[in-house]
Amino acid sequence: MLGIPLGYLLKHPVEGMELASDPFEVWNRVQESYLAQREQRRPPCEYEHDENWERRLHERLGVAWPCNLTQEFWVLWHEVVSELEAKGVRPGPQSFGSWNDGDAGFVRAVWCLTRHLRPKNVVETGVARGVTSRFVLEALDRNRTGRLSSIDLPPIERFLQSQIGMAVGGRFADRWSYMKGSSRLLLPKLLSRLGEIDLFIHDSMHSEHNVRFEMDRALVYVRRGGAIVVDDIDASWGFRSFTERFPAHPSMICEAEPLRPDLRRFNKKGLFGIILKESSVRA
């Protein structure tokens, strides 16, 4: 079937059966999953993280360090975690099926970028329970400007589908657009419609194939001086190949701060990356 072996579909019968009900999206899911499995034959991509990434980030943004918004972040972080726990959720690694909720380091980077860049348009791929989405929306609300557009292809499991955006709840309806579907089908149209964005956040499938698809397209639309944030960069070669292709844009390798050790990761934490689009360089 279009390059996907029958053996793969036999091992993933639910995906195969759903082809009939939503053929385009499910076909994309099958193809992306198959390509991600093929990528796993490569050795892992090794990175060295920058222990001073927060200071470097703020220096690049031209704002003071230590950041006067850090305390504001931590107050909200504990509030959001407590809200999820009160709903019976234990946030952290592998708490949403095999996926993670946004960790404190990744979300704090997104928080600071949103507060300091004061973006008009933020685009995010991957929502899950919406921890990162909540912080973007809270930051936009405190900025009193800007909108978040989120794309997410929910998991097949129905009990997980009911938790999409749980951390956001019914808040910020005037600032948030949630689009259900894959980034491969929805992202190009969204970027074209917006014309220019200030911040792009990747937290969907982390295969090199998908990371490069999203980052390559986002870079064209991110304004000069804007940023791209990519979660779980140690999961594939996508971030590495992007920074090698576009070396003029400053990048940072940052260590995650999960609520519990993530035993699947080489450092028990994971990594995320930040790209700052250089003002004087065209995409």
What is the pLDDT tens value at each position of the chain, 283 positions in all? 334 444 444 454 554 444 445 666 666 777 777 777 887 888 888 899 999 999 999 999 999 999 999 999 999 999 999 999 999 998 988 888 888 889 999 999 999 999 999 999 999 999 999 999 999 999 999 999 999 999 998 887 787 888 899 999 999 999 999 999 899 999 999 999 999 999 999 999 999 999 999 999 999 999 999 999 999 999 999 999 999 999 999 999 999 999 999 988 989 999 999 999 987 554 4
What pLDDT shows up at residue 278? Answer: 87
What pLDDT shows up at residue 280? Answer: 56
Domains of the chain: 1-42 (no CATH), 50-276 (3.40.50.150)
Q: What single string gives the DSSP state of each residue in the chain?
A: -TT--HHHHHH-HHHHHHTTTSHHHHHHHHHHHHHHHHHTTSPPPP----TTHHHHHHHHHT--SS-TTHHHHHHHHHHHHHHHHHTT---STT-BTTB-PPPHHHHHHHHHHHHHH--SEEEEE--TT-HHHHHHHHHHHHHT--EEEEEE---S-HHHHTTTTTTTTT--TTTEEEEES-HHHHHHHHHHHH--EEEEEE-S---HHHHHHHHHHHHHHEEEEEEEEEE-GGGSSHHHHHHHH-TTS-EEEEE---SS--TTSTTSS-EEEEEE--TT---
